[in-house]
Amino acid sequence: MDGLTGKVVIITGASEGIGRALAVALARIGCHLVLSARNEIRLASLALEIANYGPPPFVFAADVANQEQCKALINAAIAHYGYLDILINNAGMTMWSRFDELTQLSVLEDIMRVNYLGPAYLTHAALPYLKSRHGQVVVVASLAGLTGVPTRSGYAASKHAVIGFFDSLRIELADDNVAVTVICPDFVVSEIHKRALDGKGQPLGKSPMQESKILSAQQCAEMMLPVIATRGRQLITSLRGRVGRWLKLIAPGLIDKIARRAIASGH
């Protein structure tokens, strides 16, 4: 991972899950990190952990759903380090409810604002600096951005939007030599499942996943490092995800059954 050593990297959603694991992994290979999330206490504990591996990270609490806070995050990172090499859009939220049982439709707006508009806001603010360094934008999407998933309709919609947006942006930025990398994890152990919103817009409070049977955040982060280092186009973390892309073209009904079974089994 020599190509990442010394790079200035912003990670959103760094306080938990994939973002936290990725921050530790990048710190270990010598990246200069900007850690952002809403939870300042968790960010502070992560900063202390990372300080054991190298330079202390820069911490900036922000809500990606707020455009002005996104601008402030980018400005603060540039003020601190002077430049930016990689923006990792990782912050996200999800839902767990059939659409016909959803009583608070504002859930759909909240999810779209965090999962799609947040990365768009941040990337827009960061682009002048990324262009000057021939940098890279990374977005953590989901397998749900490639196919439909029951009880996750609003989440799947937001991730479809994310993938469409960043695939389009990749083409626009080709002449600027700014790479765009889309990460599509399968189920990963993360606090996002406990915070998933139910039909009334309230957090579940516990994960509906069988966490012993799904990828850990640390495993996911380790899988992400090579594709980030090589400025790769896309990573799908599971075999069923990679195979599913092709099955969807020739046997879409089978993919619907697989998605239904995955949600029902929790893995």
Cβ distance 35 to 21 under 8 Å? no
| 9 token code pair | 């990297």
What is the SS3 assignment for 260? helix
Question: Is 121 part of the annotated catalytic residue set?
Answer: no
- Would you tell me the crossing angle of helices 153-172 and 118-133 to the nearest 10 degrees? 20
User: Smallest Cα–Cα separation from 181: which of 231, 222, 128, 125?
Assistant: 231
d(CA 228, CA 86): 9
Q: Exposed, middle or buried by CB within 10 Å (0-12, 13-18, 19+), for 263?
A: middle
Q: Which amino acid is at 171?
A: I
Find the radius of gyration of the CA atoms of the chain. 18
User: Smallest Cα–Cα separation from 218: which of 1, 4, 9, 22?
Assistant: 22
Backbone phi and psi for residue 97, each to the nearest 5 degrees, phi listed first: -165, 140
- DSSP 8-state symbol, 173: T
Cβ distance 214 to 118 under 8 Å? no
Cβ distance 162 to 141 under 8 Å? yes
- Among 116, 121, 129, 155, the active-site one is 155
Residues marked active site are found at 155
